[in-house]
Structure 1
């Protein structure tokens, strides 16, 4: 039999725990990628670009960042996902950006990873938790064959960070 004291203790500890709050992805919040360049060699592929995450007035402070990184996994036949590389902030503070290549598909027809994945960290403040927004775009390999590209990424996922 469960005692009243045990139930009271359980109830108060559940109420005292952190409460997860969800946040919506703002409508029409497109991130601008500029000067995209990517190429591949025997040891894998690389990317570099600037990304602007616009400010949502009164809600989210935007940033501009320079991102560059390499595909990881050469030693494992590209079966290991690349880790996110932190991007260098050019404008804005407190929030952060990171990027990585998606895992290379092993379909025998591919040339490098199919997507670039970008993550925006909306830093927590006082009682507001931090949130991570992420989106992706087709990775185009334009090194030596085409000018740098510009495109947009629309975030499709968001989750809270404890």
Structure 2
């Protein structure tokens, strides 16, 4: 089927200090075919691993995970993993804005794995 669904990231904040980089944001997705609607809160550091997000809304078995993969000092490469029956992953080149700019929102288009 056609996948026009986009995952919405709200209140993105990411920044780096001497101890490393960290992020936090809320993420929502609308129902799309087999994919249920969901809402989650994600926060972690740049460990290089997907970290499970805290599910705020959504059916049992819905999992959201996020990874922060910085590749330079101005851009944070946010990866989201949405796992129900199908795995979807989306990438977005967000900025490190924690100390320099207000939180902002963006959309991530998921690709089926």
Q: Same fold (TM over 0.5)?
A: yes
Higher helix residue share:
1
Normalising by structure 1, we get a TM-score of 0.64
Aligned residue pairs: how many?
Answer: 112
**Which residue of structure 1 lines up, in the alignment, with residue 46 of structure 2?**
71
Unaligned ranges ≥5, structure 1: 1-23, 73-81, 123-129
Q: Which has the higher contact order (CA 8 A, sep 6+)?
A: 2
**Alpha carbon RMSD of aligned pairs, Å?**
1.7
TM-score for the superposition, normalised by structure 2: 0.89
Alpha-carbon distance in structure 2 between the residues aligned to 1:144 and 1:88: 24
- Counting strand residues as a fraction of each chain, which structure ranks higher? 2
Q: Deviations over 1:98-140 (max 9, x none)?
A: 00012x44xxxx2176400000001xxxxxxx32100010121
SS in 2 for 1:147: coil
* Pairs within 5 Å for 1:7-156: 26-56=2-32, 59-72=34-47, 82-94=48-60, 95-102=62-69, 104-105=70-71, 110-111=72-73, 114-122=76-84, 130-156=85-111
Q: Which runs of 4+ in 1 moved over 4 A?
A: none
Q: Distance in 1 between matches of 2:108 and 2:68?
A: 14
CA positional deviation for 1:60: 2.0
User: Aligned equivalents of 2:83 and 2:12: distance in 1?
Assistant: 21
